[in-house]
Homo-oligomer: A and B are copies of this chain.
Amino acid sequence: MNKISETKASAGAAKGKRQPAEAKLAELKYRLLEISDLMAAEALLDWDQSTYMPGGGAPARARQSATLSRLAHEKSVDPALGDLLDALAPYGAGLPYESDEASLIRVARRDFEKAIKLPSDYVVRASELRSASYNAWTRARPGNDFVSMVPFLEKAVDLSREYAGFFAPYQHVADPLIDAADEGMTTVAIRSLFAELRRELIPLVRAISAQPMTGDDCLHGSFSEQEQLEFSLAVVKRFGYDLERGRLDKTHHPFCTKFSSGDVRITTRVDENYFGDALFSTMHESGHALYEQGVAAAFEGTPLGSGTSAGVHESQSRLWENVVGRSRVFWEHFFPALRDAFPDQFRQIGFETFYRAINKVQRSLIRTDADEVTYNLHIMMRFDLELDLLEGHLRVKDLPEAWRARMQADLGLAPTDDRDGCLQDVHWYAGSVGGGFQSYTIGNILSAQFYAVALASNPDIPREIAKGEFGTLHGWLQKQLYQHGRKFCPTELVMRATGGPMSTAPYLAYLRSKYGELYRLPTADQAS
């Protein structure tokens, strides 16, 4: 033992019992595992509530979720955990930045410092509101009953502002909420990003709208639930979604949830009169699931054991749903299989008709049904309305009207009811306003950026996809992104994987190329 480490050991011993770093690290992992187990159990309470729970279970379920949230939070802010992290800081600093142990200590400390800002009673109230509000929303949306959601949404705005307050001072009240989802992003940065994108999207949407409208009649008809689910599952299995470590169920609002590295589940919804909802939702959620299934199993039960941010997560759902799942090469392989699965519905339909139908651009009411080009307009609108609600410039009861006005202005149409308006997304009704939508557009941007780099180093990827093979693409994503879990924060991960910071250029190039061809738009050369 040299002089320096002796000094360190003595300094550690002064605070408490002399304990080697290995023992401290083992204790840290034990404490983190306990928190992870409580959170996994709570995630199961939530999954069950959305899939199979009978209605009568709702009141107790809200309380049970809140209890588990509170216990997990109590353990997350235990001063003994802070002492342990303090004691391990010098040890972590002596390790390579990228090592598993240094990363674990670094991320656990960041989580601890965030968690201690939230009082336990706040965590309980937030969890209770989440369950109660979600449950009310599952009835209010089909009933087109916004009025019944007003008190829930008002509480959600209050709680979100209260959340921000714990992280004061901030530049904008939404910043702490955004940072919770997309570490390092701010309201200012997103406004600038969105403005940049908007400048290009608006003319693109205008140019497409000037072309003859594409039809999607072939997607409407009668498609049995069972067969849609089977086809969807067959596709995502080919992507690489491991059903020994996952499963697919039905819910109001599709999601992906992780209980352990061996149990990452997705949900979808099915419309028996429309082909596409179930399949593309399933592809979308499978992107999230591929990410979570790909996180190194060694990170199980630690704060490193999940995807690094909402935006990077969304890049994977959008990559598999859109960049892959709505591509020409993908359907070169899967269209024959689709015709076999639904012979009556697709026997008479040509490839081009089908391909154009699933990529039809049309200004529409529902975000989750929106095409790739108009989708981001839906997000920008929600993002701005969130800011208005948080800033107090918009009252909750005026939300339906504000929604309709903005829809009219941005997309040239407005919903006749709230079911297809401000009640359509679960996010605000799951108890939190702010920080919940920007990730979708960040995800879109990153999906094209990651794919472009994967393609540059593996030019065979499209030819493989055309054969129904996804191993090279999946392998690149696994190596560059998935395995790292939360070891790297989003900016680090993007830099490592792509060699540069987040950029809208690949995404805009992707949209221009794909939709330029589909809608026979003039190329940049022709236009200039």
Contacts and interface: CB of A to CB of B under 8 A. Distances in A.
A244 interface: yes
Contact of A262 (B57, B246, B301): B57
Nearest to A57: B263
A60 interface: yes
Most B-side CB within 10 Å, residue of A37, A68, A242: A37
Interface in A38-55: 38, 40-42, 44-45, 48, 52-55
A141 interface: no
A266 to B, nearest CB: 11
Interface string A242-258: 11111101000000000
Interface string A8-51: 00000000000000000000000001100110111011001000
A34 to B, nearest CB: 6
A64 B48 contact: no
Contacts of A52: 52, 247, 249
A498 interface: no
A129 B55 CA distance: 33
Given A41-B64, A64-B37, A64-B40, A56 B263 contact: yes
A245 B40 contact: no
Given A41-B42, A48-B48, A68-B41, A54 B260 contact: no
A243 B56 CA distance: 9
A33 to B, nearest CB: 8
13 contacts: A34-B67, A38-B67, A38-B71, A40-B60, A41-B64, A48-B48, A52-B52, A56-B245, A56-B246, A57-B260, A58-B262, A59-B260, A59-B262
Most B-side CB within 10 Å, residue of A41, A48, A300: A41
A58 B41 CA distance: 14
Interface in A390-426: none
A383 interface: no
A65 to B, nearest CB: 9
A429 interface: no
A318 interface: no
A54 B262 contact: yes
A68 B35 CA distance: 11
Interface string A216-245: 000000000000000000000000001111
A61 interface: yes
Given A45-B41, A63-B37, A53 B263 contact: yes
Contacts of A55: 244, 262
Contacts of A68: 37-38, 41
A76 interface: no
A308 interface: no
Contacts of A71: 34, 38, 71
Contact of A60 (B56, B246, B262): B262
A515 interface: no
Nearest to A64: B37
Interface string A64-108: 100110010000000000000000000000000000000000000
7 closest pairs, A vs B, by CB?
Answer: A60-B260, A57-B263, A56-B262, A56-B245, A37-B67, A37-B64, A41-B41
A259 interface: yes
A247 B52 CA distance: 8
Contacts of A286: none
Nearest to A53: B263
Nearest to A293: B56
Contacts of A45: 41, 44
A261 interface: yes
A261 B60 CA distance: 8
Most B-side CB within 10 Å, residue of A68, A243, A247, A263: A263
Contacts of A34: 67, 71
A263 B321 CA distance: 36
A265 B53 CA distance: 9
Given A59-B262, A260-B61, A262-B60, A246 B54 contact: yes
A38 B37 CA distance: 12
A54 B261 contact: no
A288 to B, nearest CB: 16
A144 to B, nearest CB: 23
Given A37-B64, A56-B263, 12 more contacts: A34-B71, A37-B63, A44-B44, A44-B45, A48-B48, A54-B245, A54-B246, A54-B263, A59-B260, A60-B262, A60-B263, A61-B260
A67 B260 CA distance: 14
A214 B103 CA distance: 71
A404 B100 CA distance: 54
